[in-house]
């Protein structure tokens, strides 16, 4: 067998594919969701007052969470094909009558404001979307998010309840959360 044919096999042996990232931070066990302890994660609450965000219309804001709601934070960027694919699922969820107690918030890490806002406008993605280009303090870096897309399910206190890399998994978890 030639080395060219062995290369894919060797890559799989030394660099196994990562499975879906599913981590729950609450001590409750939701139906059909296995709660897994987070490894190497020392955060449980996000202090949103530390972060200045860019809005799609060029303004600066701080994120404030409404009491009695669950939030799904969508960390994404344009060149991420699974991110873009999940945006279709988010749009469909919103179009088909979303649960009013669950809010979706996009958190783009794109560096081009023009590409970011153009993408959202062309696709009619009107849910809240923010970006942090131009700031030293970055939410996704502070949360050590390295895989995209990443979805964090948080409550109105900023407590992280669940982490996933698939929108539908995050949505299922958020829908089963009692608050």
DSSP for 64-126, written as a single string: -PPTT-EEEEEEE-TT-HHHHHHHHHHHHHHHTT--TTEEEEEEE--S-HHHHHHHHHHTT--
In a domain, 1, yes or no: no
Q: Is the pLDDT of residue 138 over 60?
A: yes
Which pLDDT belongs to residue 4? Answer: 52
| Mean pLDDT to the nearest integer, 36-54 | 70
In a domain, 50, yes or no: yes
In a domain, 134, yes or no: yes
In a domain, 10, yes or no: no
Lowest mean pLDDT among 18-22, 52-56, 120-124, 169-173: 18-22
Which pLDDT belongs to residue 8? Answer: 44
Q: Is the pLDDT of residue 49 over 50?
A: yes
In a domain, 41, yes or no: yes
In a domain, 8, yes or no: no
pTM value surpassing 0.75:
yes
In a domain, 13, yes or no: no
In a domain, 77, yes or no: yes
Q: What is the pLDDT of residues 52-91, one digit of tens each?
A: 999 999 999 999 999 999 999 999 999 999 999 999 999 9
Q: Give the side-chain half-sphere CA count within 13 A for 55.
A: 10
Range of the domain at 113: 20-176
**ω into 149 cis (within 30 of 0):** yes
Higher pLDDT, 16 or 110: 110
CATH number at residue 165: 3.40.30.10
Which pLDDT belongs to residue 12? Answer: 39
The tally of domains found in the chain comes to 1
């Amino acid at each position: 067998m030639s080395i060219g044919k062995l290369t894919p096999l060797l890559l799989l042996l030394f660099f196994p594919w990562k499975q879906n990232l599913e981590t729950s931070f609450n001590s409750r066990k939701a139906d059909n969701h296995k709660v897994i302890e987070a490894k190497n994660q020392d955060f449980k609450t996000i202090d949103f007052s530390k972060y200045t965000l860019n809005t799609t219309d060029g303004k600066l804001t701080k994120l404030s969470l409404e009491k009695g709601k669950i939030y799904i934070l969508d960390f994404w960027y344009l060149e991420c094909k699974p991110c873009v694919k999940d945006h279709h699922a988010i749009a469909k969820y919103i179009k088909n009558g979303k649960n009013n107690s669950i809010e979706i918030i996009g958190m783009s890490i794109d560096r081009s404001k023009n590409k970011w806002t153009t993408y959202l406008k062309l696709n009619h993605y009107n849910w809240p979307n923010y970006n942090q280009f131009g700031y030293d303090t970055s939410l996704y870096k502070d949360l050590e998010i390295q895989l995209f897309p990443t979805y964090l399910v948080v409550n109105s206190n900023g407590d992280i309840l669940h982490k996933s890399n698939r929108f539908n998994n995050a949505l299922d978890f958020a829908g089963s959360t009692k608050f």
